[in-house]
Amino acid sequence: MPLLSFGLVFSKHENDSRTLTAIRATGKIETGDTAKLQMYIKNLTPKKHIAIYLDSAGGNLYEGMKLGRFFKKRHIKTVIQGYKSCLSACALAFLGGTDSKGRKWMSSTTTSFLGFHAFHYSDEKNLDTDFTQKVVSDILQYGIDIDAPMEIFVKQFSTPSSSIHLLTIPEELHLDIKVWDIANHKFLTSSTKKSANLHQNSLQFMKKYFSDILAYPKNLSWNKLSASMKKSSTFKQYSSWWNSVKNIDILRDDQLDDHTVKMLLRYKLKSGKTICTIDTFSLLRTKTSWRINGQTIQRATCK
């Protein structure tokens, strides 16, 4: 049975086996979650290996770091499965992943989301320099304690708290994070680090974009727009529209060329209204993935 209460929910993961204690952790990270996890593990039969499968948009910064230290101390591997996300405080905790021999062990997939941003304090009006310096100092000390590369914290502090930096596959591999290639059923190596996103064509990218957009925080899909595309609207306008959508169906899709995709889309809004459009997307290939670089919209009759 899962351990239920406020904060993270801990339950048995389907990968649990004779030698592996596999724990699923979902929800928001809150104060006391580390103690809850300790109690949860205490009530289990000891096994050779422990792995925790994270799926969280974040939460309490200091509890995230406390979890990361606990992962390192107890030799707990950290995993983000396909299409799951580990963001903000969860990403910090993830960095503490360690195997049974005390070596760093963190695992993601080619379809997972691992993201960092600068810390956020609920009462920003009262943020003073001393407090900010203390939090930054505590985060850097945490990095030292768990042997995390300092460059990850440069990414974190340089990304506004209102946005998020999603690590690319090359960045994850550079940080010694194991990346499981969902398509080819194997771990990527440094020589194959570009394979996952670059082998994905523009049509596959757009299909995944729409399959993920309602399931994950809107800043993840927002970051799949090019810089010029973002200038056409604000994030507030973008998220407001998608928060009004209950469901979206791709009724037809065509790849016009390597960088152009045409789709017939049906939007079912939370208001009960249904809208159909024919959208033509122009896409920009980056070093590691694709970005939506333009969109033309034509109203269509819903069938």
Q: What is the pLDDT of residues 258-290, one digit of tens each?
A: 899 999 999 999 999 999 999 999 999 887 678
Q: 276 lies in a domain?
A: yes
Using the predicted structure, report yes or no on whether residue 162 has a pLDDT greater than 80.
no
Do 143 and 252 lie in one domain? The reply is no
Higher pLDDT, 67 or 164: 67
Q: 71 lies in a domain?
A: yes
Q: Which of 132-146, 270-284, 286-300 has maximum average pLDDT?
A: 270-284
Using the predicted structure, report yes or no on whether residue 192 has a pLDDT greater than 60.
no
Q: How many CA atoms lie within 13 A of 246 on its CB side?
A: 8
Do 287 and 204 lie in one domain? The reply is yes
* Percent of the chain at pLDDT exceeding 90: 56
pLDDT of residue 282: 95
Q: 3 lies in a domain?
A: no
pLDDT of residue 189: 74
Do 189 and 230 lie in one domain? The reply is no
Beta bridge partners of 245: 269
Do 100 and 154 lie in one domain? The reply is yes
Query: What's the whole-number mean pLDDT along residues 162-181?
Result: 84
Cα–Cα distance measured from residue 81 to residue 55, given in angstroms and rounded to the nearest whole number: 8
Confidence of residue 32 (pLDDT cuts 50, 70, 90): very high
CA torsion 153-159-164-166 (nearest 10°) is: -50
Instruction: Report the run of H or E that residue 220 belongs to, with start and end.
Output: helix 218-222
pLDDT of residue 95: 96
In Å, how far from its chain's centre is CA 249?
24
CA 209-213-219 angle, to 5 degrees, is 100
| Single pTM value for the model | 0.64
Confidence of residue 157 (pLDDT cuts 50, 70, 90): confident
Do 190 and 286 lie in one domain? The reply is no
Token pair, residue 76, equals 């707990």
Confidence of residue 150 (pLDDT cuts 50, 70, 90): confident
Cα–Cα distance measured from residue 148 to residue 166, given in angstroms and rounded to the nearest whole number: 17
Do 161 and 29 lie in one domain? The reply is yes
Do 14 and 91 lie in one domain? The reply is yes
CATH of the domain at 19: 3.90.226.10
Do 155 and 228 lie in one domain? The reply is no
Q: 154 lies in a domain?
A: yes
Using the predicted structure, report yes or no on whether residue 163 has a pLDDT greater than 80.
no
Domain enclosing residue 130, as ranges:
9-196
Q: 207 lies in a domain?
A: yes
pLDDT of residue 274: 94
Do 148 and 294 lie in one domain? The reply is no
Using the predicted structure, report yes or no on whether residue 122 has a pLDDT greater than 80.
no
Q: 258 lies in a domain?
A: yes
Do 239 and 155 lie in one domain? The reply is no
Domain count, the chain: 2
pLDDT of residue 79: 98
Do 182 and 204 lie in one domain? The reply is no
Q: 4 lies in a domain?
A: no
Do 14 and 158 lie in one domain? The reply is yes
Among 158, 181, 196, residue at a domain's last position: 196
Using the predicted structure, report yes or no on whether residue 8 has a pLDDT greater than 90.
yes
Residues 59, 89 contacting (CB under 8 angstroms)? yes
Q: Which amino acid is at 72?
A: K
Instruction: Report the run of H or E that residue 71 belongs to, with start and end.
Output: helix 61-73
Residues 277, 298 contacting (CB under 8 angstroms)? yes
> Which of 172, 157, 169 has its CA nearest to residue 61?
157
Cα–Cα distance measured from residue 243 to residue 179, given in angstroms and rounded to the nearest whole number: 31
- Sheet containing strand 260-269, edge to edge, reads 245-257, 260-269, 274-285, 290-300
pLDDT of residue 114: 92
Among 181, 196, 211, residue at a domain's last position: 196
> For the ranges 14-23, 45-54, 162-171, 230-239, which has the lowest average pLDDT?
162-171
pLDDT of residue 131: 76
Using the predicted structure, report yes or no on whether residue 4 has a pLDDT greater than 50.
no
> Which of 96, 107, 51, 103 has its CA nearest to residue 77?
51
Using the predicted structure, report yes or no on whether residue 105 has a pLDDT greater than 80.
yes
CATH of the domain at 246: 3.10.450.50
Q: 114 lies in a domain?
A: yes
Among 168, 196, 224, residue at a domain's last position: 196
pLDDT of residue 1: 47
